[in-house]
Structure formats: C-alpha cells, structure tokens
C-alpha cells in the first residue's frame, strides 16, 4: 500500500491509509494515545484506542520518544475534535527509528540554541511554514518571469572584481596570479546577458563580507536580479510593481495555512495593492522634514528614515531619483537633473526596510568611463563591461530583490535568519 501525505488526507476520508513521518507530539489518557504525526506536508492526529491493541503494544506506543520515525496504518476520518478536522483511527503503529531525547521542546528557545540546532529547528512548524513560503516566492518569481518572456541566466559565483566597488568581498585564494572574490551581485553579468537575450534574470546566492549584525543582514543571501534591454526607469518600476503584487497574491492564495501558523496579520498583506506609491527621493526628504523628522538632502537614507517613509503607506513604496553621490557608478544620471541618479529602492511596509534596489544603467561609453574614474575604479577591470557600451549599447535597467528580506516581510517574522534554510551570518556558520 502506497503511503499518503498528510496534506492529501482530506480526499481520503473513509479510506485506509498508510502514513510515514515523525512523532511530533503525544497526549495520552488511560484509554487513548493521541499521536501527532508530522510528515513535512502537515500534521495529523492519530488515535490509538487501548481496546484495539494488546496491553504491551499500547504501553510501548505511549513511550515512543518525540521525533522518532513512525509508520501508522489506519482509517482516515473527519472529526471536529481533531486539529485540522481529519484524524486517523490507527490500526497499527510501527516505530521505524527510536529517537534519542529530542533537544527542541514545545517551549520557547533562545536564538543561540535554535541556530546551533538549525538542522533540527527546521522541523518545527513555523520553520516548515517559512520554507513553504520561500518555495512559493521563488516559484512565483520563476513562473512570472517565464510568463513575461525572460530567460534565466545564471551569473558566476567567482568574480575577478567587485561588481559595485563598495561592499567588502570574500577573497578566494585559488586562481593563479589573480585575486578572486565571491560575487556580491550578478548584475553586471546580467547586463551582458540582456544584450544577448533581451530580457534575463538570475536567482542565486550572493556574499557580503560586511560586519553587519542586524535582523536584516545575512552574510550569504539569495538575490533575484532581472535585467531588461531597451528599458528605462519607468519600465523597471513597472516590473517591480507587477512582480511584487503577483508574489503577494500567490502567497495569499497558496500559503494561507502557513501564514496562520506564523500568526501573520493577513489583513496587512491584503492591503498591498497596485499601483504602488512612487515618490522621488527629494519628495521623501521634503515630507520627512515637514513632519519634523529632520533629514538633509544629499545623504543616503538610513534604517530609521526608511521606517518613516514606509509608514506612510500600506503597500511597498518605490523611492526613486537619488542623489548620484550615494548610488553606484553604473547608474544613469537623470537627463532632467544631473545631480540625480535614475535609481529606485523599494521599501517594504511595516518597517521591513529595503527589499529591492535597482534602476536604469549608464549606457553611454564616455559617461561610464568618467564615472569609473571618479569612483577610483580600474578601467582595466571593467574592460568587458565597457565593451557592452561599444557594441550596440541600448538603454537598459533592472533590479536586485533580496529573497530573504522579501520572505521576512511576507511572513512577518522578525529576522531574515529564519527565511533561509541554513543561515550564514557574522559569527555563525554551523551547522
């Protein structure tokens, strides 16, 4: 008999099923054991009636340690008394592997303990829910980009130079005569790919050797980076809006239960509606100052400033046209105002901060060479990148979306470390 997954039990009521999983919890009385079986797709209560088992068997079932691997055979019944509305009337309970005393209990644990037991913590209900949401977000991105005619192009992980010349990079000592680094962005490669295939994207890990210790930072995080040929800042913003609203829509549609397990305020997500607010950096600075949150034009927005701006709206807000000094060398200048860069950052609602950074790229060779010099970067390092402006340069742009930050916001959890299966952070690489 093939096994049934817990998530499919609703269609199996009345039938005999075989379930395989782990013992999540047990409640017992004289006459019954209530076993909660967890199989990754869900949790179901299995009722073991003393009258239907022999004495020794019944006693042993009452002693199976938590997280032991078990196989239960029985009839699936709908029953209002069972959590989830379906329960199994067990005919047999087999212990496939007796677990040692399981370190993670139902009570709350501290972050240090949980992170050191991440390989086990992942089994917890909320963590399973988060991984389902992560899967939904990533799949939505791929589906949506495919539907929009984008081609998935993988960017390299080893790079010969900094992509942006800003963040601290991880140096890799392997390639002869040349330093190599772990990538901090696939963007420059996506620009090359866009000139080959039109609309492209990459989705993969990126690395930042910053000594950042906050709830929004990971040392290794996943980034989704689309890049479009023949596109300007408005096209970039339209894509952001379309994609983000689609992600919210799909998570609400397919991850209801997960959001409930996480005790997410679903109304807040339902309020996310396009069109998203768009505001220029200058407008944002003016409004902040008008409201008494003093901020001087020209500086980059810090975390507290971002919270103020996002608090004005229910949907993610697109802040665009920043002072060029605070943005990367490859950003195109605003033709209307050369002090501005054609960049856009997206701030998630509820104070979750920046989830996207992007914009229109500089497509003019001479301007780009000048910018590289101004930033003190080596022209030689960017020879190939400059080639893209020598051979059929066109207006183009794109953005980078922080996958974990996006999941963090959608799920309403308070730290990105829970949004990736095995987080890598400052001072933490185990397990």
Partner RNA sequence: UCCCCGGUAGCUCAACUGGCAGAGUAGGUGACUGUUAAUCACUUGGUUGUUGGUUCGAAUCCAACCCGGGGAGCCA
Among 13, 43, 111, which residue's Cα sits nearest to residue 258? 43
* Nearest CA-CA partner of 225 in 193, 194, 257, 190: 190
Task: Give the one residue of 11, 51, 54, 101 binding RNA; rule: CB under 7 A.
Answer: 101
- In contact, 218 and 417? CB cutoff 8 Å: yes
Q: Does 212 bind RNA (CB under 7 A)?
A: yes
Q: How far is the CB of 180 from RNA (least distance, A)?
A: 20
Query: What is the smallest separation between the CB atom of 336 and RNA, expressed in angstroms?
Result: 23
Per CB under 7 A, 123 contacts RNA: no
| Shortest Å distance, C-beta 152 to RNA | 19
Among 8, 113, 291, 298, binds RNA (CB under 7 A): 113
Which DSSP letter does residue 361 get? Answer: B
Site for RNA in 157-186 (CB under 7 A): 164, 166-167, 185
- How many chain residues are in contact with RNA, going by CB under 7 A? 74
Instruction: Write down the least CB distance from residue 79 to RNA, Å.
Output: 5
Which of 5, 16, 34, 198 is in the footprint of RNA by CB under 7 A?
A: 34
- CA angle, residues 35, 37, 42, in degrees to nearest 5: 140
Return the half-sphere exposure (C-beta side, CA atoms, 13 A cut-off) of residue 267: 0
- Count CA atoms within 13 Å of residue 286 on its CB side: 5
Instruction: Note whether 355 binds RNA by CB under 7 A.
Output: yes
**Residue 297 in contact with RNA, rule: CB under 7 A:** no
295 binding RNA? (CB under 7 A): no
CA distances from 163 to 11, 88, 180 (A): 52, 56, 12
Which of these ranges, 31-39, 119-127, 260-268, 277-285, lies near RNA under the rule CB under 7 A? Answer: 31-39
Note whether 28 binds RNA by CB under 7 A.
yes
Q: How far is CA 126 from the centre of its chain?
A: 15
- Which residue, 118 or 264, is less far from RNA as judged by CB? 118
Q: Using the rule CB under 7 A, which residue among 39, 87, 241, 363 binds RNA?
A: 87
Contact between 356 and RNA (CB under 7 A)?
A: yes
DSSP state of 9: G
In order of 23, 38, 304, the CA distances from 5 in angstroms are: 15, 10, 45
For the CB of residue 232, give the shortest distance to RNA in the complex, in Å.
19
The region of 110-118, 262-270, 288-296, 315-323 touching RNA under the rule CB under 7 A is 110-118
CA 137, CA 403: separation in Å to the nearest integer? 8
312 lies in the site for RNA, by CB under 7 A: no
CA–CA separation, 233 and 334 (whole Å) = 10
Task: Report if residue 375 touches RNA, rule: CB under 7 A.
Answer: no
Q: Which of 289, 352, 267 is nearest to 317 (CA)?
A: 352
Nearer to RNA, 72 or 416 (CB): 416
List the one residue out of 235, 243, 155 whose CA is nearest residue 398: 235
- Pick from 31, 119, 146, 271: which binds RNA (CB under 7 A)? 31
* Host H or E run for residue 127: helix 125-147
Identify the H or E element spanning 411. helix 403-411
Q: Is 112 in the site for RNA (CB under 7 A)?
A: yes
- The reply on whether position 125 binds RNA by CB under 7 A is no
Question: Between 73 and 426, whose beta carbon lies closer to RNA?
Answer: 426
Smallest Cα–Cα separation from 137: which of 417, 330, 401? 401
Footprint of RNA on 231-270 (CB under 7 A)? none
* By the rule CB under 7 A, 353 interacts with RNA: yes
Q: Pick between residue 25 and residue 274 the one whose CB is nearest to RNA.
A: 25
Out of 401, 407, 410, 413, the only residue in the binding site for RNA (CB under 7 A) is 401
């Amino acid at each position: 008999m093939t096994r049934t997954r817990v998530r499919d039990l609703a269609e199996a009521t009345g039938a005999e099923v075989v379930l395989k999983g782990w013992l999540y919890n047990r409640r017992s009385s004289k006459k019954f054991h209530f076993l909660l079986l967890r199989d990754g797709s869900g949790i179901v209560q299995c009722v073991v009636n003393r009258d239907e088992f022999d004495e020794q068997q019944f006693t042993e079932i009452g002693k199976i340690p938590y997280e032991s691997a078990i196989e239960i055979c029985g009839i699936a019944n709908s029953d209002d008394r069972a959590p989830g509305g379906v329960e199994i009337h067990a005919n047999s309970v087999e212990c496939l592997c007796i677990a040692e005393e399981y370190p993670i209990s139902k009570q709350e644990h501290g972050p240090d303990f949980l992170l050191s037991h991440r390989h086990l913590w992942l089994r917890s209900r909320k963590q399973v829910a988060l991984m389902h949401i992560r899967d939904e977000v990533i799949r939505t991105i791929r589906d949506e980009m495919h539907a929009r005619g984008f081609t998935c192009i993988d960017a390299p992980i080893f790079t010969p130079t900094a992509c942006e010349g800003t963040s601290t990079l991880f140096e890799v000592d392997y390639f002869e005569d040349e330093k190599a680094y772990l990538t901090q962005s696939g963007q420059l490669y996506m620009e090359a790919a866009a000139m080959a295939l039109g609309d492209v994207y990459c989705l993969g890990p990126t690395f930042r050797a910053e000594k950042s210790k906050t709830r929004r930072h990971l040392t290794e995080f996943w980034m989704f980076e689309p890049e479009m040929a023949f596109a300007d800042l408005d096209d970039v913003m339209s894509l952001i809006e379309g994609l983000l609203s689609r992600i919210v829509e799909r998570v609400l549609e397919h991850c209801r239960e997960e959001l409930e397990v996480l005790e997410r305020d679903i109304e807040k997500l339902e309020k996310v509606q396009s069109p998203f607010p768009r505001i220029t950096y200058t407008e944002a600075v003016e409004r902040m100052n008008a409201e008494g949150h003093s901020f001087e034009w020209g500086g980059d927005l810090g975390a507290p400033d971002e919270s103020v701006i996002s608090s004005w709206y229910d949907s993610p807000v697109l802040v665009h046209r920043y002072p060029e000094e605070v943005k990367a060398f490859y950003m195109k200048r605003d033709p209307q105002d050369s002090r501005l860069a054609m960049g856009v950052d997206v701030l998630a609602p509820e104070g979750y901060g920046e989830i996207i950074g992007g914009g229109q790229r500089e497509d003019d060779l001479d301007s780009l060479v000048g910018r590289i010099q101004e930033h003190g970067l080596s022209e030689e390092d960017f020879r190939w990148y400059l080639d893209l402006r020598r051979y059929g340069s066109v207006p183009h742009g794109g953005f980078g979306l922080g996958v974990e930050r996006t999941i963090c916001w959608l799920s309403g959890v308070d730290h990105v470390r829970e949004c990736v299966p095995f987080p890598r952070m400052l001072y933490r690489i185990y397990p």
